[in-house]
Chain A
């Protein structure tokens, strides 16, 4: 087939852009891509941990570990911190492979079409996960759907399409894995120093966004926390909150004649003064939000275990906690046996030696080790032995 006939058979080529940059190659894509892959793996696993701690399947509810105390703090801090770092990694990775968007002909075969489709799925889901996560921690919800189920569902698409992509590209990844891999050696040697400079720049960018935001979860770095949505020292009693008493509809009227009701084989109720007269326990526990920020604080109050025992609860009992909140997805919270029996799980009455402020859940709140912040129910009205 001669060149002119060929030209007539193909549709007129709409002159795709040409790329003069030298680092749009498989070695750069591999070097950046493996960091991005690791970041998404961390985000996916920590995301699953967070999801199943918050919504355990019924068979697992009594088996969730209440230790280590700092477990959720670390896992969710990693989820958000790694997600922020992955924004930079994803953009550089996509920059490296961007010219492939304009390959000609756009589709060579069914196999090629499927491969391109899987890449489109990967890019769309990965961009969506990082973008929606970044907006969520800024408490900005411009979309018409609910964040949690969508972020969770698309995470599976992103994780799956990354695995698929690695499987498809395995030979190329292998050929460019190290500086001395055959594929890398086939690339122009003069690009090596420039590629290393790009990787150093990428490291600097990841380091900069991490250092200026991670202080919201790693308290010793709080002084560098300049660009995070939260700061560990900003909030009532020096501790951030997610829901204020006003937002929860808990005002003076709701607190008038407050008594803690405990329902079980031997039901009883206690006034605030009676609770303070019970044996008090102190526990140093972090409050760790699903949005990534976390702070450790000194809580004082009565052990949930003691309150349940007094109601005649059997040792394997779980507990249902109801808040005074007028609405909201977390008004009623259930806590499995491991948390209910943990000696550090408290009905807290004080924070840092002071009575709880209204925004921290006055008159009484739950504080338990290794649990997402939304389950540390504030303004507790009732405990029910299950």
Chain B
């Protein structure tokens, strides 16, 4: 199988690296602790984070159908939700970390306030993009339904997929 040889080499190297890692894990004082955390991450994602994101996606799709958003408007709202979710997620450890920071130069910023500022900027940019979309649509002589923006950048989820059965175009 000369055509597939690079694939097998790549797969073999991959298995080798996995073996190197697994050997190190089992050389640790308590490998089972690590396995619990590895499994925990898997369960946290598959059972909590992903379903939550999909639920937001379904809500978004339902909202888009009810308000008859254009595909472009829905894309902007989805991008805003995705961005807001990502920002919340990377800031969460700084907000939730128990106890005082180990020294005055660690975690020195007002993260709650800063996060609100950044989310506000996302909201403003997304609204501007939606307004631009409507104006461009009017200029072309179309009659796009003005999208509603009040849900933008409010949700705390990592991604905001479109969950929609009806093709828009």
Known: A127-B41, A163-B17, A226-B109. A213 touches B159 (CB 8 A): no
Contact A208 B87 (CB under 8 A): yes
Q: How many angstroms between the C-alpha atoms of A227 and B119 in the bound complex?
A: 12
Task: Indicate if the CB atoms of B105 and A236 lie closer than 8 Å.
Answer: yes
Residues of B within 8 A of A19 (CB): 54, 163
Band of interface residues on B: 35 or more
Tell me which residues across on chain A come within 8 A of B39, comparing CB atoms: 124
Contact A209 B90 (CB under 8 A): yes
A156 in contact with B103 (CB, 8 Å): no
Are A154 and B38 also in contact (CB < 8 A) when A145-B30, A227-B115 are?
A: yes
- A160 in contact with B21 given A131-B41, A190-B169 (CB within 8 Å): yes
**Once bound together, how far apart are the Cα atoms of A23 and B57, in whole Å?**
12
In the assembled complex, the Cα of A128 lies from the Cα of B42 at a distance in Å of 8
Q: Does A170 contact B (CB under 8 A)?
A: yes
Q: Is A205 within 8 A of B83, CB to CB?
A: yes
Q: Is A164 an interface residue (CB 8 A)?
A: yes
- Number of A interface residues, CB 8 Å? 85
CB of B49 within 8 Å of the partner chain: yes
Given A91-B49, A139-B101, A167-B14, also A21-B75 (CB < 8 A): no
Within 9-29 of B, Cβ neighbours of A (below 8 Å) are at: 10-11, 13-22, 24-25, 28-29
Tell me, rounded to whole Å, the shortest Cβ–Cβ distance linking A125 to chain B: 7
- The answer to the question of A161 belonging to the interface, with a C-beta cut-off of 8 Å to chain B, is yes
Cβ of B46 to closest chain A Cβ, rounded Å: 6
Contact A95 B53 (CB under 8 A): yes
Tell yes or no: A120 within 8 A of B by CB. Answer: yes
Contacts of A352 in B (CB 8 A): none
Whether B103 pairs with A244 at a CB distance below 8 angstroms is: yes
CB distance B86 to A209 under 8 Å? Answer: yes
Q: List 29 A-B contacts (CB under 8 A).
A: A20-B165, A21-B164, A91-B53, A101-B46, A139-B106, A145-B30, A153-B24, A153-B28, A154-B34, A157-B25, A163-B11, A163-B17, A167-B10, A190-B167, A193-B169, A194-B71, A197-B71, A200-B75, A204-B83, A205-B87, A208-B86, A209-B90, A226-B117, A227-B114, A230-B107, A234-B108, A235-B105, A235-B108, A247-B103
- Mark A residues whose CB is within 8 Å of B: 19-23, 84, 87-88, 91-92, 94-95, 98, 101, 120-121, 123-125, 127-128, 131-132, 134-135, 138-140, 143-145, 149-150, 152-168, 170, 188, 190, 193-194, 197-198, 200-202, 204-206, 208-209, 212-213, 225-231, 234-236, 239-244, 247, 359
